[in-house]
A = this chain, B = another copy of it.
């Protein structure tokens, strides 16, 4: 057989879809096999076990996320441009992947050890360039002192959090359906200013 795509890849795509929707614990291998249009045994043939498949999907999902972030933060744009780039890029990125943040949060909570596997031995990417840019701005008197960890945490928090708690947000703030898109669009407009403004001395 092996229509068009290879079966292995079709299974991986199906697993991605199902795992992200349901979370690994509630996802059924049968459902993944059906979605991929193959037999359940084939899934074990290629991936050995549900767990191994889940780990590969998780690695893929998280691997999509962080490298781009560090690429921008360590790039050669100005600090202000970087903030705008990150906000723009990630609000679009997440809008196209509504289940991703909840899935990652969920997996991380159930299997915190897995994130170690994602980054391999070579710990986290360094943020030396960003750190230096912040220090320059601070020395220049154009920004109040802030640890680079706090800088990144604040930025990512403002971008990702609404997606992570989308159901609650919809309920609490009566933001739902298309209104959520408007909510995000508004953030895209205001977040960079809000964030950078917060660091003015």
Contact = CB atoms under 8 A, between A and B. Distances in A.
B199 A194 contact: yes
A161 B157 contact: yes
Contacts of A66: 172
B110 A23 contact: yes
Q: Majority SS of interface residues in chain A?
A: helix
Given A153-B162, A162-B153, A187-B150, A22 B199 contact: no
A154 B171 CA distance: 16
Interface residues of A, number: 55
This chain: how many copies in the complex? 2
Interface centre among A154, A158, A166, A197, by most chain B C-beta atoms within 10 angstroms, is: A154
A93 to B, nearest CB: 16
Nearest to A70: B172
Contacts of A166: 112
A177 interface: no
B162 A157 contact: yes
A168 interface: yes
Interface in A114-153: 115-116, 119, 123-125, 146-147, 149-150, 152-153
17 contacts: A25-B25, A99-B109, A102-B105, A105-B165, A112-B167, A115-B167, A125-B172, A149-B173, A150-B187, A152-B172, A152-B173, A153-B161, A153-B169, A160-B161, A194-B199, A197-B197, A197-B200
Interface of A: 22-23, 25-26, 66, 99, 102-106, 108-110, 112, 115-116, 119, 123-125, 146-147, 149-150, 152-154, 156-158, 160-162, 164-169, 171-175, 183, 186-187, 190, 194-195, 197-200
